[in-house]
Homo-oligomer: A and B are copies of this chain.
Amino acid sequence: MFAYKTQIRLHDTDAAGILFFAHQFEIVHDAYEQLLEKLGFSFPTMLTKRSYFLPIVHAESDYKSPLFVGDKITVRITLGHIGDTSFSFVYTIHNQKNVLVGTAKTVHVTIDKKKRTKIKLPAEIRTSLEKFGKKK
């Protein structure tokens, strides 16, 4: 399973004293970028060398326990589904006491960059995701 470690920063919080909910999506996306890099599909590569892109068409988060500035968290990513034209990732977030504080999910499609139309998942993405999905 892929794990990404980070820390809640002051600018992740708001005047209520805890993580601002939208920033949880930034944090899981940071983890996703790290995972893509590991799988060989980093954003620099995709933005400059591929004819497709992987926009998010749905995102959701649950917030189970507040996160405070300085909290050390671990984001773990597992594969949700792989379809013909879409796939999803599922995220869990644990704090330094190993308490599950949040979860998230992102659903991605592949679109042709120039036409901005949905295309079938490219073979290189499918193969890589299937391989990732089999890991325990």
Please list the residues of chain A having a beta carbon within 8 angstroms of any beta carbon in chain B.
Answer: 7, 9-11, 13-18, 20-23, 25-26, 29-30, 33, 37, 42-44, 47, 53, 55-64, 66, 68-70, 106, 116
Contact = CB atoms under 8 A, between A and B. Distances in A.
Contacts of A7: 33
Nearest to A116: B66
Contact of A62 (B9, B15, B23, B58): B58
A104 B24 CA distance: 16
Contact of A14 (B14, B22, B44, B61): B14
B16 A56 contact: no
A26 B11 contact: yes
B10 A11 contact: no
